[in-house]
Amino acid sequence: MTSWIALRIIKLLAVGLFAAGALGAGFASSQRDRLTSAFWLATPAFLGTSIAGYAMAKSAGHSLGAPWISLVMFTALMCFHHAVLASRKPVRRPPFAGLTAGWFVASVTAMVVRGSGPWMWGLTAALGGAAGIGAWLLARRFEQTRPGAASEPGPATMTWFTWVGRLEGTSLLVLLGHVALREAGGVDLDPHGILGWTHGMLFVVYLQALASATRVTDWGRRGLGLGLIAGVLPFGPFVFDRKVTRAPR
C-alpha cells in the first residue's frame, strides 16, 4: 500500500512537470526557454510518468495491451515529440503550442477515463482537439503581442543528447548485468521488468535526442546510422559521445 501511494505521488508530480515542460516548449517567447522546457523539464517528466505508470499498471495487474494504456502511451509520446519539435523552431509557432497542449490533454483524459470502446477514443479526441485549438488560438494572440526570440540551439541540443546518451548507455549496462545475475545465479531482482521498461523508454528518448542532434550538426546519414548502432551496443553511447559527438568538425 505504501509503495502504491509513493508511485501515485511520483506520477502526479511527473505529470505536473510534464505539463510545465510541454507547455513551456510550445508557449515560451524565447527559444532558449523553449529548449530548456523541452530538454530539462519535459524529458525527465516524460520518463518519470512512463516508468511510474508502468510500475502502477504492473502492481494493479493491468495488461499493457489494454486500449486505454496504449492510448496513454501513444499520446504522451506524441506530446513529448512535438514539445521537442516546438523547441527547435527559431520563433514560437502557434501550431506546435496547440499540438503539445492537445496531445497532453488527450493523454491525461485517457489516463483518467481508463475505458474501452469508441466512446473513450471519441472523448479523448474531442477534449484533446478542443485543448489544441484553444492553445493554438491563445498562442496566436501571444505571438502578436510578444514576439519570440531566436537562439542558437546547437550547444543546448548537444548537451541534452550527451546526457540522454549516458543515461541510455548506463541503463543498458544495468539491464545486462541484471540478466547475467538472473541467468547465472538465479537471482531476479526485478520480477516486474521495470529495468527493461526503463531502458526501453530511455532508448525512445535517445532516438528523439539523436534526431535532434543530427539536425544541428553535419553528421548526416552516416552519423545518424552510427548513433543508432551505438544505442543498442554495450558502452556504445559512451564511445559515440567520445568519438563522434566531441570530435572536431
- Residue 177: pLDDT band (50, 70, 90) is very high
Give the whole-number percent of the chain exceeding pLDDT 70. Answer: 94
Give the whole-number percent of the chain exceeding pLDDT 90. Answer: 64
CA atoms of 89 and 97, how far apart (whole Å): 11
The residue extents of the domains of the chain are 2-145, 153-245
Among 200, 211, 224, 220, smallest CA distance to 50 is for 200
Of the given ranges (35-44, 139-148, 171-180), which has the lowest mean pLDDT? 139-148
Q: 182: burial class by Cβ within 10 Å (0-12, 13-18, 19+)? A: middle
Q: 3-class SS at 114?
A: coil
Among 242, 44, 32, smallest CA distance to 157 is for 32
